[in-house]
A and B are shown apart, each in its own frame.
Chain A
Amino acid sequence: MYRYDPYDHAMVKARVAQFRDQTNRWQAGELSDEEFRPLRLQNGLYMQRHAPMLRIAVPYAMISAAQLRVLAAIAREEDKGYAHFTTRHNLQYNWIPMDRVPDVLERLADVEMHAIQTSGNCIRNVTSDQFAGIAPDEVVDTRPLAEIIRQWSTFHPEFAFLPRKFKIAVHGAERDRAVVQVHDIGLHLYRDDKGDVVARVWVGGGLGRTPILGEVINEALPWRHLLSYMEAIIRVYNLEGRRDNPYKARIKILVKALGIEEFRRKVDAEWANLKDGPATITDDELARVSAYFVDPTYAQLPDTDAGFDARLNSDKAFARWVQQNVHAHRVPGYRAVTLSLKKKGIAPGDITDTQMEAVADLADAYSFGELRSSHEQNLVLSDVELRKLPELYDSAKALGLSSSTVGLLTDMICCPGGDFCDLANAKSIPIAKAIMERFDDLDYLHDIGELDLNISGCMNACGHHHVGHIGVLGVDKNDEEWYQVTIGGRQGNDTRLGKVIGPSFAAADMPDVVTKLLETYVSLREPEERFVDTVVRVGLDPFKVSVYGDKANKKKEANNG
């Protein structure tokens, strides 16, 4: 993975010193709360319900065992012994006192980590495919260009006070695992007819209050123009994006208002002054950064193993784990393994200090000391030998990280919600926990098959509820927490937004609602058909009837009449 050179070290150290000074000036009253606010947000620091929340960047999902150990130590010594992986690769602490934050950032800087631009109205941490570099369907390894984008966006002088946050996601495989179409800029790297790397560029996607899928602004942008082209997009947005209403301030609203043709015309006019200029990425720079992402020293291995096969045939639990949590690898004899952070009784994405240390040990023992964090809030060991899967499984099981439910109903994406977050309208973690308790029969979960259930505690949609096969959104009605349900959303190459099935539900009803949706699916599905495919085929009505009973029909009749 990428390692800091003296320039990177100096920059991050300077940032720590700057933030320490800013914190001091705020405490001394030289900076008002309002003036300090964007400064602390651009260092990942939120004032939350109980205490500050500190969000640490995990750039494009890459994290080392050494870094994870430091994160564990901070969780133990500065927090309450745990941390939370988010839906954007990042890690959050919930209980670090304000005046300890500069010291924590200093510790992170020592292991080449930071909290730069993990919040605020600026270019955020770039996200990517957690299987970058190892996926068999990968065409272009996204990591070098993602790192080049990270550096370009860091302390960008023109784009620190945009109308709203700005998220860039990049993928380079046949299958989009980074949900690029729901980002302000989405990049799909591929090879053109000549074999040159180009990007399909989407702009104006986003979830939140007004969920919109991005539109293609450029079908084939040569890789060396990525920075200058994004500069043109963001300059147009910075100047013309709405600033009168934060709910209308994302680039998606501007693109919709102008139309993609007019927005493209403005971007092209701006880009005409930049194209082939100094921001053009050089071959040398790509080569320099790419050199950090060379393959580890893989062993020459067969793609089968007798011990693995024996365990597979004799141990049903192991076989299930392999089916759900083990992923193909482009190198024979290797697999990627998801360590699930979803377990009954635990908030999705949460991990304790001791688990982090144990996972770091697993990464050292089985995966060249490197890990990935997925936007589904799990950890991935990217380079595990097939023959070592049985012993890795036993270790993961002992740590409580072997839930063989990746991709299934209980592998929920869930934001911190009203238990922690100040923005939330409703709690989300108790909903996730109640659903996990209701559906803890592995046979049933496997029978239901692939199902993304995503939960957000408010319109900001950190839990990506719009693109869940089942989406749950917490809403506030007269100071009570209610939950609106959508079905039919999906991520991937054919990303779609789910549709609302009807009036919202009380928290206590949510497990029953999910049960009824699943019963309907089971009664209607065709062989090998996933829940979401059944929804697409039969439409919403049967699901509405199952959940709302006669009320669904009456309402429909009333509407028709």
Chain B
Amino acid sequence: MAEILKNGQVHSDNWQVLYPEADADLASVTVADGQWLVPYALWQAQSALQSRSDVGVWLSPNDDLNQVAKHFSQWPLVAIDFPKFTDGRGYSIAWRLRNNHKYTGELRAIGNVLVDQLFFMLRVGFNTLALDPKVSPEIALKHLTPFPDVYQGSTDNQEPLFRRTDRAVAGAH
């Protein structure tokens, strides 16, 4: 059981993430019964996985999104891995999946998912967040919206502040 954040609440679900060894032969990796998120390359390597409804994929920064996008309808969810919280590629991958490739299903952040990045993740298009095991879900929940508004558009709200509001014009200063 993993604790995830979804719609501003803590949920538990049964999705487990399979991280094969770096030098593993993907064709011979065993994916046990149960709900598994497997690397896209593994999903491609084993055709048996492609008919399992309890298998989703996770994407690494090196996967070709044009290829990935052909299979959206086959997956119950897509995850993007943050190997380290300072590796910001996942934000742009999520943005591209949502905006260029029009992915509308569940998009989950996995890996080194810490408190102070959740706001950014929700903005670029993640809708479920699988917290790093060291993070307290209760503390994380308190930090989902540190700012009262945003200046620039992103996946959550395409319109920048200047299109959404009538900001007063200067004059009195």
Q: A residues bordering B, Cβ < 8 Å?
A: 3, 5, 7, 10-11, 14-15, 17-18, 21-22, 25, 30-31, 35, 38-39, 121, 151-163, 227, 235, 238-239, 243, 273, 277-279, 281-282, 284-285, 287-288, 291-292
CA A158 to CA B120, docked complex, whole Å: 7
Q: Name the distance in Å between A20's Cβ and chain B's nearest Cβ.
A: 11
| B87 contacts A243, C-beta separation under 8 Å | yes
A287 contact set on B, CB distance < 8 A: 169
CA A38 to CA B124, docked complex, whole Å: 20
- Give 17 pairs: A residue, B residue, CB < 8 Å, sorted on A: A10-B148, A11-B151, A14-B148, A18-B147, A25-B139, A31-B115, A38-B86, A151-B152, A151-B161, A154-B152, A155-B147, A157-B154, A235-B95, A238-B89, A238-B91, A282-B163, A288-B167
A284 contact set on B, CB distance < 8 A: 162
Known: A7-B165, A11-B147, A157-B119. A288 touches B170 (CB 8 A): yes
| A239 contacts B119, C-beta separation under 8 Å | no
A5 contact set on B, CB distance < 8 A: 167-168
Interface size class of B (residues with CB under 8 A): 35 or more
CA A61 to CA B63, docked complex, whole Å: 42
| A239 contacts B151, C-beta separation under 8 Å | no
Chain B 107-127, CB-CB to A under 8 Å as 1, else 0, gives 000000011110111011000
CA A291 to CA B121, docked complex, whole Å: 35
Q: Name the distance in Å between A16's Cβ and chain B's nearest Cβ.
A: 11
Known: A3-B173, A151-B161. A157 touches B149 (CB 8 A): no
| A291 contacts B171, C-beta separation under 8 Å | yes
B150 contact set on A, CB distance < 8 A: 155, 157
B173 contact set on A, CB distance < 8 A: 3, 292
B76 contact set on A, CB distance < 8 A: none
CA A161 to CA B90, docked complex, whole Å: 10
CA A152 to CA B153, docked complex, whole Å: 9
Known: A5-B168, A11-B151, A18-B146. A157 touches B163 (CB 8 A): no
CB nearest neighbor in A for B89:
A239
Question: Is B12 an interface residue, CB under 8 A from the partner?
Answer: no
Q: Name the distance in Å between A286's Cβ and chain B's nearest Cβ.
A: 9
Q: Name the distance in Å between B15's Cβ and chain A's nearest Cβ.
A: 24
Question: Is B4 an interface residue, CB under 8 A from the partner?
Answer: no
A162 contact set on B, CB distance < 8 A: 88
| A22 contacts B116, C-beta separation under 8 Å | yes
| B91 contacts A161, C-beta separation under 8 Å | yes
| A39 contacts B87, C-beta separation under 8 Å | no
Additional pairs, 5, CB under 8 Å, beyond known A156-B152, A157-B154, A279-B152 = A7-B161, A157-B124, A157-B152, A158-B95, A288-B162
CA A336 to CA B153, docked complex, whole Å: 38
| B85 contacts A35, C-beta separation under 8 Å | yes
CA A282 to CA B148, docked complex, whole Å: 23
